[in-house]
């Protein structure tokens, strides 16, 4: 299932469309917290695609929830996830 999520605050002029796919068999948490006045967090099910708009300098943090706790598994520069249309 593909989801389009929260837009950036009105003051953010530069933005890119990104896509992340959970290729694991576990639920993951996708989080962006380095953009001022904007916080993004979403659960991503196995094989699910996540579409989102963000600033090119944002970092997507992927937390794996294989057990009772979430562990930072990856940190990806969102510019590398940009969808080219």
Q: One digit per residue, pLDDT tens: the chain, 85 residues? A: 444 445 565 565 689 999 999 999 999 999 998 988 888 999 999 999 999 999 999 999 999 876 667 788 899 999 899 998 7
d(CA 1, CA 39): 22
d(CA 14, CA 38): 14
CB 53, CB 33: distance < 8 Å: no
CB 59, CB 75: distance < 8 Å: yes
Q: Which strand ranges, in their side-by-side order, compose the sheet holding 49-54?
A: 2-4, 49-54, 16-21
The pLDDT value recorded for residue 9 is 58
């Amino acid at each position: 299932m593909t989801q389009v999520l929260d837009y950036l605050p009105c003051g953010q002029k530069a933005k890119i469309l990104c896509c992340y796919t959970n290729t694991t068999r576990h639920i993951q948490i996708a989080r962006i917290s380095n953009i001022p006045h904007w916080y993004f967090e979403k659960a991503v099910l196995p094989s699910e695609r996540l579409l989102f708009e963000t600033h090119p300098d944002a970092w997507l943090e992927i937390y794996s929830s294989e057990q009772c706790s979430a562990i930072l598994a990856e940190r990806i520069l969102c510019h590398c996830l940009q969808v080219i249309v």
